Amino acid sequence: MTGDSPDPAAGQKLLWYAAYGSNLHLARLTAYLAGGRPLGGARDYPGCRDPRPPRDSRAIRLPGRLYFALESTVWTGGMAFYDPAATTATTAAPDTGSPGHDGTAARAYLITAAQLSDLAAQEMRRPPGTDLDLRQALREGRAVLGPGRYDTLIHPGDLEGRPLLTFTAPWPLAEAPLNPPSARYLHHLAAGLREAHGWRTTEIAAYLSTRPGAAGHWSPQQLTDLLT
């Protein structure tokens, strides 16, 4: 699934990691970076080899669609996934400040390639410590590193001259086993959308309630009540 980087310095190169799920919330991401258990979670994380916080972050909008599927053993309910092909847009862009329903609201964190590798390992319940080979993803925009739910690397473009990368499932939205997310999970997404994008509760509720998996199970009013 992974391979040692051919360049010993490659792991120290800075890139942007695009978070679109619970890692939108910096406190939740910190459990992956520094180790520990996020608020409301059911699992302790070992952390990255480099536990330092992100050097910077940006609110961005990704082309594609956020959806919820499978069953989380940490939060219960569906997990966030991202299908970059579920739209006609072709490039990532800075957020405009309007929630809307187009694209996927995300947060870009400036971290090292080694930190990205360790994040991906912990998402898949593997021990951190092995650098991912990013070359295919950077060259082709996509690389399937294994069969796991977060083993597919996506390179939707560059941001401020550095690669922007995220990981998701290998299947498209049309084939996804949709499942509504839990209240605990949605609280982390909402906190991250507030932090990164500055959205109001009603805007967050309108956005999340229209994502596949949540749509038809969480109404805008139910989410507004939950998040307030």
**Mean of the per-residue pLDDT values of the chain:** 90
Q: What share of the chain is helix, strand, coil (3-state, %, to 5)?
A: 30, 25, 45
Gyration radius of the chain over CA positions = 16
Structure tokens at 109: 């964190």
Instruction: For residue 23, give the 3-state DSSP assignment.
Output: helix
User: Which DSSP helix (H) or strand (E) runs through 226?
Assistant: helix 220-227
Q: What is the pLDDT of residue 4?
A: 41
Residue 214 has pLDDT above 50, yes or no: yes
Q: What is the pLDDT of residues 174-187, one digit of tens each?
A: 999 999 999 999 99
Q: What is the pLDDT of residues 39-89, one digit of tens each?
A: 666 678 899 999 999 999 999 999 999 999 999 988 899 999 999 999 644
Q: What is the pLDDT of residues 17-37, one digit of tens each?
A: 999 999 999 999 999 999 988
Residue 161 has pLDDT above 70, yes or no: yes
Q: What is the pLDDT of residue 94?
A: 74
Q: What is the pLDDT of residue 55?
A: 98
Of the candidates 175, 73, 197, 55, the residue with the CA atom closest to the CA atom of residue 125: 73
Q: pLDDT band for 100, please (50, 70, 90 cuts).
A: low
User: Which DSSP helix (H) or strand (E) runs through 159?
Assistant: strand 152-159
Asked whether 141 and 134 are in contact (CB, 8 A), the reply is no
| Residues 184, 190, 195, 196, Cα dihedral to 10° | 120
pLDDT > 90: percent of the chain: 78
- 0.85 exceeded by pTM: yes
Q: What is the pLDDT of residue 6?
A: 43
Q: What is the pLDDT of residues 1-20, one digit of tens each?
A: 333 444 445 668 999 999 99
Q: What is the pLDDT of residue 5?
A: 40
Q: What is the pLDDT of residues 192-213, one digit of tens each?
A: 999 999 999 999 999 999 999 9
